[in-house]
Structure formats: C-alpha cells, structure tokens
C-alpha cells in the first residue's frame, strides 16, 4: 500500500505541474493574442464540457468505487459485470445527450451566438458542436480511469490523464500562437483528446487483460443497483459545474465579459493551492475504499487525519504568499494585462483555505460510496451560490463573485465535517444516510 501511495502521490504531483503549467501558459497566450473580449467568450463557451461531464449520470464515479471494493474482496467476475454495465449506461446516455446538444447548438437563434465579437455566427455554432464532442469524449476517460483505479494502477491512470491534458493544452497554445481562431482551438482539443483516449484504452487492455472493454457482461439489474449512488455522484460535478462555470457566466452578464478574465485568473491562482492538497488525497481514495470494504475503521481514521494535516501544511503557507504577493504574481503572470484588486485576492485566498479543508475530506466520503449524504445538499448550495453571485457582482464586481464562492465553501465546510465525524470518527460506526442528513440540516 505504501508503494502504491508513493506512486500515486508522484503521479498527482506530475498532474498538478501539468495543470498549473498549462494554466500559467494559457492565460497570457490567449489574453494577448485574442484580447480580453474574445478570450472571455472562449471561457464562457468552454463551460460546456463541464456540464457535459454530467452525461454519464455519475455511473463512472459510482462504478469506480464499487469496482475497487469488489477487487479488494477478490470478486473479479463481479467487477467485470459492474464495468460493462457502466460502459453500457454511459454509451447510451452520452449518445442521446450528444444528439440533443448538437440539435440545440444548430437551432439557437442567431442573436444568441453573436457575443458581440468579430466571429461569424455559423463558425460559433461549429465551435459549439466541437466543444460538445470534446466534452462527451472526456467521458471515456472517466470510465477508463475507473478501470485503472480498481486494478491498483491509479498512478498509471493519472499519468495517462495528465499526458492527455498536456497534449491538448499544448495543441491549443500552438494553434493560438500560429494565429488560430476559436474554431481551430476547439478542433485541436477534439483531435488531441480522441487520440489520447484511444491510447489509454489500449494501455488498460494490455496491462489488465481480464478487465476487457465490452458490453457483453452488462446486466440491467446491475445498472439499476448502480443508479442510486450514480445519481448521487452526478450531483457532485453538477454542483461543481454550477459554481465553477456558472459563476463566470453570471459575472459576465452582470458586469460585462471583460471582467470575467480578472475573476477567473484570481480563481485559477488560488485553485493551484487547493489542487496541491489532492497530491495525497486522491492517492488515498482507492486505499480508503479498500479499508471500507475490509471494515478497517482504524485505517480510515488514519487517512482522515493525514488528509487534514497535509491540507493545513499546504494551504497556510500558500495563503500567506497570496495575501502579500498575489497582485504582483498576477501582474507578472499576465504580462500586466490583468490587474485584480487586493480585495479580490483576499476573498479568493479565504476561499482557498476553506475549500481546501472540506473538499478533500468529502472525497473520502465519496470513496466509500456514501456521498449521497452530502451531494444533494452541495448541489442546492452551489445553485444558491450562483444566484447570489448576481447581486454581489452588481455590488462589488469580481470581488462580489468571490464572496458568493466563500459563502458556499463556509456552508459546505460545516456540512462535510459533521458528516466526517459521523461516518469516520464516531466510535459507534456509520449512521444511516437519513440520520446524517437530518443531523446536518
């Protein structure tokens, strides 16, 4: 287990380097070569893949946890049934979502795809179709990752996803540097992701022959059994998409597209700190699932405290750096193109501290397939946060949008920590989901 954790931490570290490196590179390149208005439009359009991640209805997440726990019990046959059932459900649902999404893109009124930028509406429609395709291709990566995770190859799966992100991000940067348009950038993402997903599928098949791709093991009863944790899991990306992607859109509507890059740049900066907390946390998740499957309460508690200690060690120094040097960092990063206020930096630093403590703990609850105890609460709170963003943005601009996120994270901190006590720390064991939800409310 220790060796797997070290490999997982190393893979997650590489992943964070790739993510942060691409974020640091993409912002100045796109802002400089496209201008803030066109770049802001791209940011709003690229919210679509986050929403299309819901196209699997949570089956990849639920199946990944279930498969890991079955492998821990030595049930390979049951693991394959779950895998094929999830593949079948995702294939059917994502195909339906693609057809509907494309029809919507093509039938949108012309006034809705103008965006007040010098780009032909027909080209915008094609960009939307490509972004839809990209979002649904990403679903294949999620179910493949479930296969890597359950078979003890979490680090290999993470490395594959990181290389995928590096390839598609680099393709976008090169395209824009060569004078590429929104359409060219969207096409670069689709081609890069497709090639990478095919490579990941071949790698998984070669390394884990018994976990073969296919649909012949699919079982309707298994799909029904997975539906409950799957729908609860679906609420999580829905909530994340709501506040991560919905907040910039609402901010843009309230204050104009030019304000969006200021907010997203500050948010990207603070999310770098949160992402570092996942180095250990994500590597722990398969091990936590195994501990739950084997009924090892002592190991579960150790994982919980290790998560809290690691988070604090990363977030507190990061917060001090951002408070004192955040504005200067953004100025250097964007070559003086973007100037966030100190108020915005301070609010987003607070968001980083609170979010970085509760979210990794919630991942442990997710790793036990007990996420129904908080996922729907999170969804409602996220939607409320997006609604709150509009009046706060009118009042304080980008800083107001940050305040809406801070309110969301403070609420979820209370919810998740109370659930963690009931599910992980409480000596009497895990209470029922209904009891936990009632206690939180």
pLDDT confidence of residue 56 = 60
CA atoms within 13 A on the CB side of 121: 12
Residue 164 DSSP label: H
Q: With a cut of 90, say whether residue 70 has pLDDT above it.
A: no
Which stretch of 166-170, 235-239, 401-405, 417-421 has the lowest confidence by average pLDDT? Answer: 235-239
Q: Which of helix, strand or coil describes residue 336?
A: coil
CA distance 390 to 254: 6
70 neighbors 292 (Cβ within 8 angstroms): no
> pLDDT (tens digit, 9 = 90+) per residue, 194-222?
898 889 888 888 888 888 888 888 888 88
pLDDT (tens digit per residue) in 277-332? 777 778 888 888 888 888 888 888 888 998 889 889 989 998 999 899 888 888 88
pLDDT for 282 equals 80
Q: Is the per-residue pLDDT at 432 higher than 70? A: no
pLDDT of residue 419: 92
Element (H, E) at 235: helix 220-255
The gap from C-alpha 309 to its chain's centroid, in whole angstroms, comes to: 23
User: What pLDDT score does 380 carry?
Assistant: 94
Nearest to residue 203, comparing CAs of 151, 256, 277, 127? 151
pLDDT (0 to 100) of residue 55: 54
Predicted pLDDT of residue 438: 44
Residue 66 in contact with residue 369, Cβ under 8 Å?
yes
Residue-wise pLDDT for 384-407, tens only, equals: 999 999 999 999 888 999 999 999
pTM: 0.70
Within 10 Å of residue 433's Cβ, how many Cβ atoms? 16
Which two tokens mark 373? Answer: 């105890």
How far apart CA 47 and CA 282 sit, in angstroms, is: 24
Helix (H, G, I), strand (E, B) or coil at 217: coil
Q: Count the neighbouring beta carbons within 10 Å of the beta carbon of residue 192.
A: 20
Residue 265 has pLDDT above 70, yes or no: yes
Cα–Cα distance for residue pair 254/407, rounded to 1 Å: 19
Higher-confidence position of 85 and 24: 85
Q: What is the mean pLDDT of the chain?
A: 83
pLDDT band at residue 112, thresholds of 50, 70 and 90? low
Given this model, what pLDDT does residue 260 score?
A: 84
Nearest C-alpha neighbor of 160 from the set 130, 212, 213, 202:
202
CA torsion sign, 123 to 125 to 128 to 132? negative
* CB-neighbour burial class of residue 423 (10 A; exposed 0-12, middle 13-18, buried 19+): buried
Residue pair 108/236 in contact by the 8 Å Cβ criterion: no
């Amino acid at each position: 287990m220790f060796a797997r954790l070290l490999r997982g931490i190393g893979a997650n570290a590489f992943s964070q380097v790739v993510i942060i490196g691409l974020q640091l590179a993409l912002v100045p390149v796109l802002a400089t070569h496209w201008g803030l208005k066109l770049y802001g439009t791209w940011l709003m359009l690229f919210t679509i893949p986050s929403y299309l991640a819901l196209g699997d209805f949570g089956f990849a997440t639920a199946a990944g946890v279930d498969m890991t726990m079955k492998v821990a019990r030595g049930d390979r046959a049951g693991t394959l049934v779950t895998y094929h059932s999830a593949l079948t459900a995702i294939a059917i649902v994502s195909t339906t979502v693609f057809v509907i999404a494309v029809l919507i893109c093509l039938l949108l009124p012309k006034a809705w795809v103008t965006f007040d930028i010098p780009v032909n509406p027909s080209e915008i429609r094609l960009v939307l179709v490509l972004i839809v395709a990209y979002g649904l291709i990403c679903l294949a990566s999620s179910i493949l990752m479930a296969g890597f995770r359950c078979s003890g190859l979490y680090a290999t799966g993470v490395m594959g996803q990181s290389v995928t992100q590096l390839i598609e991000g680099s393709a976008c940067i090169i395209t824009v540097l060569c004078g590429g348009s929104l359409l060219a950038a969207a096409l670069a993402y689709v081609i890069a992701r497709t090639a990478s997903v095919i490579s990941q599928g071949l790698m998984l098949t070669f390394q884990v022959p018994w976990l073969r791709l296919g649909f012949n093991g699919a079982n309707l009863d298994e799909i029904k059994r997975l539906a409950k944790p799957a729908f609860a899991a679906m609420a999580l990306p829905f909530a994340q998409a709501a506040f991560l992607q919905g907040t910039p859109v609402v901010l843009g509507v309230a204050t104009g597209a030019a304000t969006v890059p200021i907010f997203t740049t500050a948010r990207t900066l603070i999310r770098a700190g949160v992402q570092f907390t996942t180095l250990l946390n994500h590597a722990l998740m398969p091990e936590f699932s195994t501990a739950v499957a084997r009924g090892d309460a002592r190991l579960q508690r150790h994982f919980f405290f290790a998560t809290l200690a690691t988070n604090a060690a990363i977030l507190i120094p990061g917060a001090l750096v951002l408070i004192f040097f955040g504005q200067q960092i953004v100025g250097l990063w964007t070559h003086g193109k973007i100037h966030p206020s100190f108020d915005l930096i301070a609010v987003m630093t607070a968001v980083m501290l609170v979010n970085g403590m509760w979210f990794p703990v919630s991942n442990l609850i997710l790793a036990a397939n007990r996420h129904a105890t908080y996922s729907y609460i999170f969804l409602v709170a996220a939607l409320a946060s997006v609604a709150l963003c509009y009046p706060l943005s009118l009042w304080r601009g980008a800083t107001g949008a940050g305040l809406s996120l801070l309110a969301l994270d403070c609420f979820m901190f209370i919810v998740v920590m109370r659930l963690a006590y009931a599910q992980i720390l409480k000596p009497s064991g895990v209470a029922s989901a209904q009891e936990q939800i009632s206690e939180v409310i």
